[in-house]
Amino acid sequence: MASLLPLLYFFFFASPSLVNAKSNSTITSINRDLYHSSADLLEQIKALVHRHPDKLTAETIKTGNKGYKAEITVVTYCRSRKETDDRSKFRILLSFGQHGRELITTELAFRILSVLSEEQFLPDVDASSLNNTLDKLIVKVVPMENLNGRKIVEEGDLCERRNGRGVDLNRNWSVDWGKKEKDYDPYEENPGTGPFSEPETQIMRKLALTFDPHIWVNVHSGMEALFMPYDHRNTTPDGVLSERMRSLLSKLNNVHCHKHCMIGSGGGSVGYLAHGTATDFMYDIVKVPMAFTFEIYGDTAASSKDCFKMFNPVDLTTFNRVLHDWSSAFFTIFKLGPLQLDGNHSKAMASGVDKFVSIDEYLDGYLMERRNRYGKKMEVLDVGMQEIRTQSFAPEAETLSKLWGCAYEAFPAKSSGLENENISCNGE
Give the residue numbers annotated as catalytic, written as ranges.
Answer: 295
**Distance set, CA 222 to CA 127, 156, 349 (Å):** 33, 19, 35
Measured CA distances, 287 to 77, 290, 375, 390 (Å): 22, 9, 32, 10
CB-based contact 74:49 (threshold 8 Å): no
Number of helical (H) and strand (E) elements in the chain, helices listed first: 17, 10
d(CA 242, CA 393): 23
Please state, in angstroms and rounded to a whole number, the distance separating the CA atoms of residues 70 and 416.
Answer: 13
210-225 burial, b at 16+ Cβ within 10 Å, e below that, comes to ebbbbbbbbbbbbbbb
Q: Which residues 6+ apart lie within 8 Å of 332 measured at CB?
A: 251, 252, 255, 256
CB 286, CB 95: distance < 8 Å: no
Query: Nearest to residue 101, comparing CAs of 204, 187, 179, 5?
Result: 187
Helix (H, G, I), strand (E, B) or coil at 281: helix
Please tell me the total number of residues recorded for the chain in this structure: 428
Q: Which residues of 46-69 are buried (b: 16+ CB within 10 A; e: fewer)?
A: eebbeebeebbebeebebebeebe
